[in-house]
Amino acid sequence: MLNIAVRAARAAGRITMRFFERVDAIKVQTKSRNDFVSDVDRAAEAAIIEVLRGKYPDHAILAEESGAHAAGRGAGDELQWIIDPLDGTTNYLHGFPQWSISIGLRQRGRMQLAVVYDPLHEELFTAERGAGALLNDRKIRVTQRRSLEGALIGTGIPFRDQSRLRVYLKMMEAIIEDTAGIRRPGSAALDFAYVAAGRLDGFWELGLSPWDFAAGVLLVTEAGGAVSDLAGSERHFETCNVVAGGLKVHRAMLQRLHPFLGPDLPA
């Protein structure tokens, strides 16, 4: 299944690369405030689904642009592919070189395999449950940093729903103390992959969608890290608020973020 997911990601990668040098010619629509979809998103998603459906016609699919595709007769929703065909569309449309393709497989609520592909830099992050995480076939691990002191932390600033912007800025103020800095590259799937590869020590973001982090969750955990919601529980697929990092950095981030939980910001 991992090989098929990689094949699907590479098919989408060829489409995204074909248009990246001429983004001015791409037709773009606004889905909601500061949220865009292009013909490239749709074409890349169609390519992924074609590969997956060709091999696994009975599997369910949850895709960012086309939504939920029911499983075949008798299969139920036991196996579900979760797809983001172009994570970082705004970056892509501005020619900013930080975007990726994310494909994950979930079985009975647990992630089983993950692919995050950065075709621009030819970096392929993969993971299978119980088998570890890889970058271009090389084993990767989260950092072993013991605290937030000197840590490099990734994040995503709320840009669609800004009702939580004030509390987010307070969170950022609390997290940044003692760290080496905070980065906001703009592709959550790659942020998780970078945590898994030790390029970031930790990451947090509010209000993500499942396709933004489904593959990334498995990458981080298979690389020896931890992923949770803001309260430290495994309800992040329900709350869509996510904290990830090496074990001690993850714990330290939760401690810094805990004071901000409440009625206006559930975990």
In this prediction, the residues of the chain whose per-residue pLDDT falls under 70 are 25, 29, 31-37, 71-77, 263-267
Query: What amino acid occupies position 154?
Result: G
Which class for 163: exposed (0-12), middle (13-18), buried (19 or more C-beta within 10 A)?
exposed
pTM: predicted TM-score of the whole model, two decimal places? 0.92
128 vs 14: CA distance, rounded Å:
24
Q: How does pLDDT run across 93-105, given as a tens digit for each residue?
A: 889 999 999 999 9
